[in-house]
A and B are shown apart, each in its own frame.
Chain A
Amino acid sequence: MTTAPRIQVIGLRKVYPGAGRDVVALDGIDLSVQPGEIHGIVGRSGAGKSTLIRCLTVLERPTSGSVVVDGEELSALPEARLRAARRRIGLVFQHVNLLDSRTVAGNVAYPLEVAGVPRAARAARVAELLDLVGLGERADAYPAQLSGGQKQRVGIARALATEPAVLLCDEPTSALDSATTRQILGLIRELRDRLGITVLIITHEMAVVREICDTVTLLDHGRVAEHGPVGEVVAAYGSRLARELIPVPTLPLGDERTFVEVAYSTDDVPTHRVLAAVATLGTGVEVAAGTIETLAGRRVGRLRLDVPAADVDRALDALRTAGVHAEVATGADPGPDEDAGDEEAAS
């Protein structure tokens, strides 16, 4: 794409001075999100996700590097200019953080009050925003009277009040049940489609990435470990993101047998051809686990084959000849941390 990215992070570092040893939370992050894109940031706890979102809003000053949102370099702005610049960023929190003393309408009006919008215009805008998130009827309710999903809708309406160019969501669905999660994610996608807003979602739930993200970045120990469009990432079979986005059902722990892991995309090989190739391996080979999913317009299958040790090399050859990705995996599905070394060899 040739358009300027809506969010551009270059060489972002955040170091917390510690007693004796400094803690490096972010170690040279590069990130770029195009206008209208929904970008997911995933990673385990401690990978630097929260620090990243705090640096994007400059709630924390980056130690070095640059943060450009909607064309403005934020990292070096003085506090007063930063306050105005933050109106171009909407932030949605995991725990919503509504003011309990204000009604739903009052909460949504708050950023408009801060921005100095006159009363009449404020009321009209609040009504419009509440309709947008489907809460028009609950304007006079207090947050305590709302369900978790409704609270998050108010949080989203509040974040959108000043018509920001960018919506940052910090674990927006982590405190919600799965049905409510789907509704909130559906709302976020709908808002992107209707308003053209750029969305960055921080999450530890792969389901969020699968549901709505166009592009994804995996953070690990304060660095970008993998990134790319979701469709491309899942097709990089050996990658950690592919394994986590389309996980093979786990096998019992402690099962030390040899398994061959197969991955393919129906763009290259249709499923029946893969199964036919498996059938030619002989009666000793069993499919122990498998999944076929459609993600970002791409149908991807992953199988785990139980292969007698003597037949492994022959099986790998036969499967690769059939055009599928095949590699040896041992025992139960290893976590992404443990097999970090393997995947470089595989790819």
Chain B
Amino acid sequence: MSWFAELWNHPVIQHKLPIATLETVQMVGLSSLLTALLGLPLGLLLVSTARGGLTTNATVNRVVGFVANIVRSLPFLILMISVIPFTRLVVGTSLEWRAAVVPLTIGAIPFYARLVETAVRDVNPGKVEAARVIGATRRGIVVQVLVREALPALVASFTVTVIALVGYSAMAGVIGGGGLGALAISYGYQRFDPIVMVACVVVIVVIVAVVQAVGDAVARRLDHR
């Protein structure tokens, strides 16, 4: 039996790898979506309330920044375990990929928010000034100037975040989150089956490569500088 045939006919790879891959994609996909929806506004809030921002508010800025820093400084494994009660409250269970979405999203929001903050801060303040003179409202400036002008950088930051989530999602396997991480641990580590291990690694590398390629292509299309 050739090496490839051995891989192909491996019962775990035939039956469990596709399911685990789907779980990882779902886990990462849903938590990425939630991260974008919540992390972007949070990042914009950080920029807007900062000194020299559109609605300077030192208190809000400090509190939000402090919370973001705490979440970011926790190792993901510890964060994941410590939010289990909250996960049960939201999802009803702490197992399966759906449950893993909760800690993944909580961990990724401040990560992405900080990247958003940096990207938006790079928008030339002269553009904001021009929009103010034109008579644009604050909301208009945030959407049409800050977000629109930073969009290529926001997409690039989002790509980085999604890839980080792929990494975290493997860790979620440790506490029963399912996906490729769980498969690699139970077969590759606990049963010492190198073939399953290699297969998991290959699939994860492919996922990351695809995410990076798509992210780069989108960012390039949006960038007219």
Residues of A at the B interface (CB closer than 8 Å) are 57, 59, 83-84, 86-87, 89, 91, 93, 95, 97-102, 110-111, 114-115, 142-144, 158, 162
Contacts and interface: CB of A to CB of B under 8 A. Distances in A.
Contacts of A114: 131, 134-136, 140
A115 B224 contact: no
Interface string B117-134: 000000010110111111
B23 interface: no
A84 B135 contact: yes
Nearest to B124: A97
14 contacts: A59-B129, A59-B133, A86-B133, A86-B134, A93-B129, A95-B126, A98-B127, A99-B145, A99-B148, A101-B149, A101-B222, A114-B134, A158-B134, A162-B134
Interface of B: 124, 126-127, 129-137, 140, 144-145, 148-149, 151, 222, 224-225
Given A99-B127, A100-B224, A89 B133 contact: yes
B52 to A, nearest CB: 13
Q: Which 9 A-B pairs have the closest CB atoms?
A: A97-B126, A83-B135, A142-B224, A97-B130, A111-B134, A91-B133, A86-B135, A100-B225, A114-B136
A93 B135 contact: no
Nearest to A107: B130
Contacts of B135: 83-84, 86-87, 111, 114-115
B51 to A, nearest CB: 15
A261 to B, nearest CB: 42
A89 B132 CA distance: 12
Contact of B126 (A93, A115, A143, A162): A93
A89 B148 CA distance: 25
B148 A101 contact: yes
Contacts, number: 61
B130 A93 contact: yes
Contacts of A84: 135
Main secondary structure of the interface of B (DSSP, over half): helix
Nearest to B133: A91
A129 B148 CA distance: 24
A157 to B, nearest CB: 13
A144 B133 contact: no
Nearest to A145: B224
Nearest to B150: A101
A83 B137 contact: yes
Nearest to A57: B133
Given A87-B135, A111-B135, A97 B129 contact: yes
Nearest to B148: A101
A140 B144 CA distance: 19
A102 B144 CA distance: 10
Contacts of B124: 95, 97
A98 B129 CA distance: 11
Contacts of B225: 100, 144
Contact of A91 (B130, B136, B144, B224): B130
A343 to B, nearest CB: 37
Contacts of B151: 101
Nearest to A115: B135
A99 B225 CA distance: 10
Contacts of B129: 59, 93, 97
A83 B131 CA distance: 10
Contacts of A101: 148-149, 151, 222, 224
A17 B21 CA distance: 60
A130 to B, nearest CB: 17
B142 to A, nearest CB: 14
Contacts of A162: 134
Contacts of A111: 134-135
A156 to B, nearest CB: 13
A216 B37 CA distance: 53
Given A99-B149, A101-B222, A59 B136 contact: no
Contacts of B133: 57, 59, 86, 89, 91
